Amino acid sequence: MPKLLKMEGIDKSFGSTHALKVVDFEVDRNEIVGLVGENGAGKSTLMKILAGVYKADLGRIFLEGKEISINNLVEASTYGIGMIFQEQSVLKNIPVYENLFISHENMFTTYGVISKKKMINTAKRVLQEIGLDISPTTNTFNLNYSQRQLVEIARNIWLSEVSEIENPLIILDEPTTVLEQAEIDFIFAKLKQLKERLSIVYISHNLSEVVALCDRTYILRDGEVVSCLGKSDTSVENIRDRMVGQGSFNDNEYYLTDLQRIPEQEVVLEVENLHKYMEFEDISFKLYKGEILSLCGTVGSGKEALCESLCGLRQSDGGKILINGKRAVIKNPYDAYKYGIGYTPEDRRNAGLIQDLPIYENMTLPILTNLRKALLFIDRVTQKELCTNAVKTLNIRLQSLQAACSSLSGGNQQKVIIAKWVLSKVRILIMSHPTRGVDVKAKQQIYEVMRDLVNKGISIILMGDSFEEDIGMANRIITMKNRRITGELEATQSKPAFSDVLEKIV
Amino acid sequence: MGNFFRKIRLNTIIPIIGLILLFSILTFINPNFLSAYNIGALLDGAITIFIAGIGMTFVLLIGSIDLSVGAMISLNTILFILLVNRFGVLGYPLTILSGYIMGYLNGVLFTKFKIPSFITTFGMSGVYKSIALIVSGARPIGFDTSKMNLILYLTDSIGPFKVLHIVGFVLMVVCMVILKYTAFGRYVYATGSSEQATLYSGINTQQIKRLSFVISGISVALASIGLVAIKMSAAPSMGEPYQMNIIAATVVGGTAMTGGVGGVGLTYLGAFILSILSNGLNMFGVNVYLQQIFTGILTVVAISLTLDRTKIKLVK
C-alpha cells in the first residue's frame, strides 16, 4: 500500500534564494511527523507548497500513489490537506459554526435559504467528534488560541469529510509558541487523540515538544533534508546535533571574523528590568561601544518585541533604558532617533524604504531638517555630496541617486537603509534580519559594512537571519526563551558552539 | 521605477492635454472665449477652488482627505465679513487664525484620536455648518459700507488679472517651492508614499499630518476671503457646492487620493479645467443643474486614473 503522501524532488527558489533543494518528504496514515530546522531552513516553504500557497519549481506530489497537482488552498482542501497558520484564519467576530462552514454555507440550504439550524447541528457533531466542548453558537472571540486552533482543525476535518477523504492531512505551523503550558498540554492531548483519524505535520522550534509528540522527525537545514529520525532515535540532543551546520559559523572568511574588533569599555546602552506584559520580562543587559550584540531566540522568545520597544515601535510597561548613562524615555521612533537609535526593519521593502522616492531622499530622510540653508530650503549640494560619499563607502551599486529605491536589489536596498542611519550619525543600530532574502555575495557585503560600522564606534544589536549568522557576527550573544533572558555567551575571543546557543533557546 | 515614472507622467500630462483640448475646442466654437473679460471670469471661477485646493493637495498627498472644506468656507466667509465689519483690517489675520484653528482641530482629532480623516472632517463639517448658521443668524450678510474699501482692492485690475488672481498665483509658487525644496514638503510626500517607512526613519509623521490639515484650514480661510471679494457677501451655506469642486480640482489635476503623488501646480491646472468646463457648458446653455454631472464623472475618471491600487486599504 503506498504511503498517504509523498513529495518527491521538491525544489523552490525565490529570486536568488534557493529555498528548497530537491527535498523528499513522506507522511503515512495516522502519523504525526515533526519538521524542524532553523529560521529560513525551508520548513514553512515546503509545507506551503503542500498546502497550495506556493508552487514548487520542480518535483512531484503523490497522494496515495497518485500524482496530484495543488495550485491553491482550495484545491489542497479537496485532497484533505489543510494548513493551520500561526496567524490564524478564523474570524473572531462571528459564531463558531459560521467559522466552521465559512464559504460553504450553500451546503446547508433549505428551499434555497441557508438554514442556521442545519449548520448548528452539523457543527455540534463536528465539534463533538474532535472533543471540543464548546457550543457552536459561541462567538469566536470567547475562545482561546488553542480552542481556535481546534476549530480550524475541525473545519479541515469536515472539509475532507465533504470531499470523502478518509485520512486528512493537517499541517500545524508552530502551534504552541504563543501558548501557556496548560494550553499546550490540552492541545497535545487532542492531537494524540486526533491521530486515530488523520495525519499531522508538526512544524516547531520547540524540540522537546517534537520529541514528545512526533512519530518521525524531518530535520531541514539550508533547504535540504539532513535527517529523518524515527521515534526511537529522536531526542532533543540528537535533533540539535543534526540542526548544526558543519562549522560554517566559524568560517573566518564568511563572517569576516578577522575584522572583528574588541568592543570598548564604554557602555552606550543599558537596559534595566525592562518588561512588557505577555511580550518580555525582566530584561537587563548592557551594550558597549563598538560592539555587535546578538539577540538569539526563536519566534515568540520576546526578542522582536524587545527590539521594537527599544526603537519606539511599541512601549514597554516598565523598567529603565539608559543611553550613555542618562535615562531615556522612548515612546515612538522619533524619540529613538533623538537618542541616536536607528532601526533596520525585517520588512525592508515596506518599512525600511519609501520605494517610490528617489534613493538620495531615502538616504537623507531623517536629516533633511538639518540640511537647511537659508529660508528652510534643503541644501541640495551637501545632500548630494553626503549621498555620493555614502554610496562610495558602502559600495552601493546603483544607476543614479535620482532613481526610485524599487530599482535596487535587496542587498543594495539594505545598504541604502544602513547609509540612512550612518548619515544620521546614530550611535546604536538595531538590525532585524539584515540579510534576509539576499544572496550570499550581498550577505557578505552587508557583513563587511557591519564590521566597518562598529569600527567607527557604532554599536549594533543584531537579530540575525540564522543562528550561525548571530554567532559568526557577534561579540556577545544574549539568548532568550519564553520572554526571558536565559544566558549570555562571549563570542569575541572564541565562538561558542552552535549547540551551546541552541541549548539555551529551545 | 517604471511604475513611479508612469504615474508621474500620467499625472502631469493628462491634465495639460485636457486643458489644451478644452481651450482649443471652446475657442474654435466661440472665438469670444479667449476675450479678456472671459479669461477674468474663468480665473474668478477657479480662484476659490484653487486656493482651497492648495490645502486639499497637502491633505491628499499624505493620503488623507478633508471633507470639511465646504463648511469651513461657509463659516470663514461669514466670519470674515463680521470681523472686518467690527475690527476693520484686523479681520484678515483673524480669519486666517480661525482657519488655522479649524484645520488644527481636524488634524488633532485625526492624529491624536486616530479617527480616519474622512470621518473626523465629515463630523467637523457639521460643527462648522452649525456655527456658520448661528453666527450669521441664518441670513446672508454683507459689508458695512464704511468697510467696503478694505476689500475692494482685491478685485482691482492689473492688466487682464485682478489682484486676487495674482495672490493665488504667488501662493501656488510658494507652496510648490515648499513641497519641492523644504524638508517639510519632502516629508509630506514621504508620509503619503509610506507612512510606516517614514515613521521608522525617525520622523514625526503625526506632526506632518497635523500640519497638512492646518495648511488646509489656512488655505480655506484665504479662499474664503477671495470668495467674499468676488461676491461681496456671504451666506451660511455658500461653501457647500465648493466641497466637491475642491476635491475634484485636486484629483483632476492629478494628485492621487492614495497619497504621495501629485502637487500644487497640478491642482492649479485642475481648478482651471473645472472652471473652463463650467464656463464652456454655460456657453452652450447647458442647464446648471446638469453641470455637476460632468464634474462628478470627471472626478471619478481622474481618481481611477491616479489611484495606486496597491495602497487602497490605506485610504483614509
Question: B160-218, pLDDT tens digit by residue?
Answer: 789 999 999 999 999 999 999 999 999 999 999 999 999 999 999 999 999 999 999 99
Looking at beta carbons, which residues of chain A come within 8 Å of B261? Answer: 356
CA gap B262, B65 in Å, rounded: 14
8 A C-beta contact, residue A360 and residue A384: yes
The pLDDT value recorded for residue B268 is 92
CA gap B157, B258 in Å, rounded: 39
Q: Does residue A142 belong to the interface with chain B, where contact is any CB pair within 8 Å? A: no
For chain A, give every domain's residue range. Answer: 5-243, 262-340+426-506, 351-425
For chain B, domains (ranges, CATH) are 11-314 (1.10.3470)
pLDDT (tens digit per residue) in B72-126: 999 999 999 999 999 999 999 999 999 999 999 999 999 999 889 999 999 999 9
The pLDDT value recorded for residue A503 is 85
**DSSP symbols for A281-326:** EEEEEEEETT-EEEEE--TTSSHHHHHHHHTTSS--SEEEEEETTE
Third-level CATH fold of A5-243: Rossmann fold (3.40.50)
Q: Dihedrals φ, ψ of B271, to 5°?
A: -65, -40
Other CB atoms within a 10 A radius of the CB of residue B140 amount to 15
**What mean pLDDT, rounded, does chain B reach?**
89
8 A C-beta contact, residue A34 and residue A233: no
Domain A262-340+426-506 has CATH 3.40.50.300: yes
CA gap B173, B25 in Å, rounded: 29
Residue B96, SS3 per DSSP: helix
Q: ipTM strictly over 0.85?
A: no
**DSSP symbols for A174-231:** STTTT--HHHHHHHHHHHHHHTTT-EEEEE-S-HHHHHHH-SEEEEEETTEEEEEEEG
The pLDDT value recorded for residue B291 is 84
The pLDDT value recorded for residue B6 is 47
DSSP annotation of B257: T
Q: Which of A352, A376, A407 sits opposite B1 (nearest CB)?
A: A407
CA gap A366, B190 in Å, rounded: 11
Q: Do B186 and A334 touch (CB under 8 A)?
A: no
Q: Does residue A314 belong to the interface with chain B, where contact is any CB pair within 8 Å? A: no
The yes-or-no verdict on residue B252 having pLDDT over 80 is yes
Q: Do A378 and B186 touch (CB under 8 A)?
A: yes
Residue B239, SS3 per DSSP: coil
Looking at beta carbons, which residues of chain B come within 8 Å of A366? Answer: 201-203
Q: CA–CA distance from A34 to each of A31, A40, A364, B135 (Å)?
A: 10, 16, 47, 74
The residues, ordered by sequence, that sit 6+ positions from A34 with a Cβ below 8 Å of its Cβ are A202, A204, A210, A213, A214, A216, A217, A218, A234
CA gap A434, A450 in Å, rounded: 10
The pLDDT value recorded for residue B315 is 45
* Beta-ladder partners of A287: A269
Determine which helix (DSSP H) or strand (DSSP E) holds B281, and give its type and residue range: helix B264-283
Q: Parallel, antiparallel, or unpaired for β B161-162 and A267-276?
A: unpaired
Gap from B162 CA to chain A (nearest CA, Å): 29
Which of the residues B201, B206, B306, B308 would you substitute to probe the A interface, choosing the one with the greatest number of A C-beta atoms within 10 Å? B201
Strand order of the sheet with strand A81-84?
A81-84, A169-173, A199-203, A32-36, A216-221, A224-230
* Full-model pTM: 0.78
Give the confidence band of B12 by pLDDT, cuts at 50, 70, 90.
confident
The pLDDT value recorded for residue B316 is 44
8 A C-beta contact, residue B82 and residue B201: no
Looking at beta carbons, which residues of chain A come within 8 Å of B4? Answer: 356, 404, 406
CA gap A202, A189 in Å, rounded: 14
CA atoms within 13 A on the CB side of A57: 13
Q: Do A350 and B203 touch (CB under 8 A)?
A: no
8 A C-beta contact, residue A12 and residue A56: yes
Domains A5-243 and A262-340+426-506 alike in fold: yes
Q: Do B199 and A332 touch (CB under 8 A)?
A: yes
Q: Which amino acid is at A316?
A: S
Q: Do B189 and A357 touch (CB under 8 A)?
A: yes
Other CB atoms within a 10 A radius of the CB of residue A146 amount to 22
8 A C-beta contact, residue A314 and residue A302: no
pLDDT (tens digit per residue) in B150-170: 898 988 888 778 999 999 999
Residue A466, SS3 per DSSP: coil
8 A C-beta contact, residue B207 and residue A371: no
Q: Which of B177, B193, B204 sits opposite A354 (nearest CB)?
A: B193
Give the confidence band of B9 by pLDDT, cuts at 50, 70, 90.
low
Q: Do B4 and A356 touch (CB under 8 A)?
A: yes
Q: Which amino acid is at A446?
A: I
Flag the least confident range among A467-471, A502-506, B244-248, B312-316: B312-316
Looking at beta carbons, which residues of chain A come within 8 Å of B183? Answer: 368-369, 371-372, 376, 378
- B→A contacts (Cβ < 8 Å), by residue, are 1, 3-4, 177, 181-184, 186-187, 189-190, 193-194, 196-204, 260-261
Average pLDDT value for residue range B141-157: 89
8 A C-beta contact, residue B223 and residue B52: yes
Q: Do A333 and B3 touch (CB under 8 A)?
A: no
Average pLDDT value for residue range B17-38: 84
Give the confidence band of B143 by pLDDT, cuts at 50, 70, 90.
very high
Region of residue A212 (left: phi > 0; alpha: psi -120 to 50; beta: else): alpha
Which residues, given as ranges, of chain A have pLDDT below 70? 16, 39, 178, 244-253
**How far does CA A188 lie from the centroid of its chain?**
23
Q: Which of A404, A406, A420 sits opposite B201 (nearest CB)?
A: A420
Q: Which amino acid is at A371?
A: L
**Which has more confidence, A465 or B269?**
B269
The pLDDT value recorded for residue B314 is 47
Residue A413, SS3 per DSSP: helix
Average pLDDT value for residue range B60-67: 95
The pLDDT value recorded for residue B288 is 82
